A and B are shown apart, each in its own frame.
Chain A
Amino acid sequence: MSNPIFKQNYFEIFSVPVSTALNLSQLKEKNHELQQQVHPDRFASSAESEKREAMQVTSLVNEAYNTLKVPVSRLQYMLTLKGMDMNSETDTSMDGAFLMQQMELREEIADVQSQSDPLDVLDTMSRDLKNQAENLVLSFAEHYQQDELEKSREIVRKLQFINKAQKEVNDLTEQLEDELI
């Protein structure tokens, strides 16, 4: 693992500034560029040790790309760059109003099948959740800028809630669509 890439953070690997706002198509292009150089297929006729290193480096590039590509993991990673670990937190208290709102949403999801047009309702929910997520990312950027890490972390936790709800909405949509076919 002598390759200098192992000492770089994910943003450095992709030569982009540490920021919540990333140009995804640029990121993708850079990913292709990196893969052209490091992918194991470029080392198919090389010595075993080089092949192994190519596999490890490409695994790292893939991991970095996947982390930066998705907002919630990108934000989480930005916190770890400042020494904040999401998993070892002791204070798990959350904004009460937010939790209340989440519980209501869960009830609505559970209830959706009794609606006259459940797919429409789910579509609306999905759009709302998407908007909420976007707003959370914007507010994270502000707090992160000010080094308000506790606040930033709370936003990431909210984002995790939103993502979970979004996944439930998607799964249910999929299930209902399958039943319709």
Chain B
Amino acid sequence: MALLQISEPGQSTKPHEHKFAIGIDLGTTNSLVASVRSGRPDTLPDVNGEHILPSVVQYKADEIIVGIQAKQNQIEDSQNTISSIKRLMGRGLDELKSQFENLSDVLPYTFVQSDSAVPKIKTVAGDKTAVEISADILKTLKERGEQTLGDKLEGAVITVPAYFDDAQRQATKDAATLAGINVLRLLNEPTAAAVAYGLDSGAEGIVAVYDLGGGTFDISIMQLKKGVFEVLSTGGDSALGGDDFDHAIAEWILKEAAVKPADLSSGLLRLVLHEACKAKEALSDVEQVQMNIEFADNKHWSGTLNREVLNSLIDPLIKKTLLSCRRALRDADIDKDQVVDVVMVGGSTRALRVRENVAAFFDADLKVDIDPDKVVAIGAAIQANALVGNDSEGNLLLMDVLPLSLGIETMGGLSEKIISRNTPIPVSRAQEFTTYKDGQTAMALHVVQGERELVEDCRSLAKFELRGFPPHVAGAARIRVTFQVDADGLLSVSAREETSGVEASVEVKPSYGLQDAEIEAMLKASMEFAGEDKDARSLREQQVEADRVLEAIDSAMADDGEEMLSADERESIQQVRAELAIARHNATETQVLKEAMAKLEKVSANYVARRMNASVQKSMAGHQVEEFNK
């Protein structure tokens, strides 16, 4: 059908010059996808007009449900319906257990210990890692992007909390790989928000971005100047968010009702959390709310939660966020009064108490005019658009920093800092090591991330095993190890023995991440089971192709159908065109659509040839044949 799309010589058709890219906000509670269309960035709705996709995945034996419907099924199918999975990204079960007093309260699922360091959740569809569950959310968003834009995606920018460490970032990237997404960049959420806000308002100067989401808190101090967004410092808590407000309220309810959490089913716990969340949201508008909860055994509880009690429950959590703000300001070497704007991001910044406290702390007006739920996705879309080359002015530049120091374990379990926090990325540092035994040809480096002195107080990232350098007398080898952090904040390590120039091979053993082989196995498995997904996708691709064919034939017929075709010819083409139009909307199989297109191609073959001919003649008109022989 390509021949129908011939254009005037000297003019090129430019239907594909605009490349499509999306921005994805993969949130703890909600996720969104956005893109820039006709120069305007906006979030993309699903077929029902919903922009927000709850980050909830329900696994059934033969089906995966993502979003609103899964959220609705959460209480009745709590074991197979997973929410807040972002909290598990790049984390080990032992870590989570030590972090949350009642893990089953936060993540009421059945965990399975696997051979891998990565925890798995037991569902009826098999044991799932956080990476796989996140990939299912990402797939839904990607499909929404493809369907709305009607084209193949060049890639996506996916946002992560600025305070995510290497393992959490890597897990996010792995999830994207599994979802078949080409990751253009991992972008820090506050930076994304600043882009959306800054480009919209044309603001310049020092800006603080306060981002309190469902499960994470980020603060970034940034300098905005003529399209350059320079992060001066960043801080936060990758395990603190609005969910914790809910838990604090839920604990209060259980205390008031004299119910022990251990006595509750996971479904009932969900219900209490649900009620807590509802009460929290309601208290932004009213002074107090009446709550009623049916516990088992006819035990009924009702009580009143007012703002005062709510504030006493969440104040300690808000105070923690303000401590992070202070540290970020100090790291940036910025005084509070230099901050011109405070951009509020994340659903939890809707809480009045949060706004009061943040405004008082910075003594500044808060920017809340962009929907705090959408602002991150919109910023990601703007950067995605720029990265694929659609940004005509081309001066958008995001300069980010490493959120947490990287160090290596030295004698005595101490962490020696190699790259300190808030260093601009990408960054590369080299360090020289030597051997301590004669003939030693390998060594292992344990890389940790965090600010504390002791290795055990930092996060273990990975063990790097360096092999294959030539044997030397102890202390004579000079092994230069280069730590490279890329623009996504991801670390890679390379090593070279300097006296011989031999590159060492590096094997990475992530502490809480998936090994490359595990990802590959998952990818393979998802391809085997994704037969249906793939069919839906190729049908969609053919539909887009059919649209193109229909448009091409219509515009050609409008152009010269009258003069080039007889009435009979016109009619037979129109008839086959109509068949294709019907198939375009009704066909459920790719093959049917393909056949309809082939038929139209066949019946219009002569017409195409004539048009081609006419077009060639037209371009040669007025020229001597000799000119073409030259």
Contact = CB atoms under 8 A, between A and B. Distances in A.
Given A63-B427, A181-B319, A36 B395 contact: yes
A62 B319 CA distance: 34
Interface in B291-337: 319, 322-323, 326-327, 330
B65 interface: no
A66 interface: yes
A127 interface: no
A51 B533 CA distance: 32
Contacts of B228: 32, 35-36
B487 A41 contact: yes
Contacts of A62: 423-427
A172 interface: no
Contacts of B387: 41, 44-45
Contacts, number: 65
B486 interface: yes
Contacts of A123: none
B330 A174 contact: yes
A44 B426 CA distance: 14
Interface in B165-219: 184-185
Contact of A35 (B323, B397, B427, B484): B397
B358 to A, nearest CB: 14
Interface residues of chain B: helix, strand, loop or mixed (majority) = mixed
Given A41-B185, A174-B330, A35 B428 contact: no
A61 B152 CA distance: 36
Q: Which of B327, B398, B428 has the most CB of A within 10 A?
A: B428
A77 to B, nearest CB: 15
Contacts of A58: 426, 487
B423 A66 contact: yes
Contacts of B326: 174, 177-178
B248 to A, nearest CB: 19
B177 to A, nearest CB: 16
Contacts of B383: 41
B399 interface: yes
A126 interface: no
A131 to B, nearest CB: 17
Nearest to B492: A55
B239 interface: no
A170 interface: yes
Interface string B446-487: 000000000000000000000000000000000000001011
Nearest to B424: A62
A58 B397 CA distance: 13
Contacts of A177: 326
Contacts of A66: 423-424
A59 interface: yes
B486 A55 contact: yes
B426 A59 contact: yes
B370 interface: no
B127 interface: no
Contacts of A32: 225, 228, 230, 397, 399
Contacts of A40: 426, 486-487
Contact of B323 (A55, A59, A60, A181): A181
A39 interface: yes
Interface string B391-429: 000010111000000000000000000000001111110
Nearest to A29: B225
A140 interface: no
A136 B424 CA distance: 28
A65 interface: yes
B484 A59 contact: yes
Contacts of B388: 44-45
B386 interface: yes
Given A41-B387, A55-B426, A181-B322, 18 more contacts: A35-B399, A36-B395, A39-B397, A39-B487, A41-B397, A41-B487, A44-B185, A44-B387, A45-B154, A45-B388, A45-B389, A55-B486, A59-B427, A59-B484, A66-B423, A174-B330, A178-B323, A178-B326
Identify the 6 closest CB pairs spanning chains A and B, nearest first. A44-B387, A59-B428, A40-B487, A62-B424, A59-B426, A55-B426
8 contacts: A32-B230, A35-B397, A36-B395, A39-B487, A41-B383, A55-B486, A62-B425, A62-B426
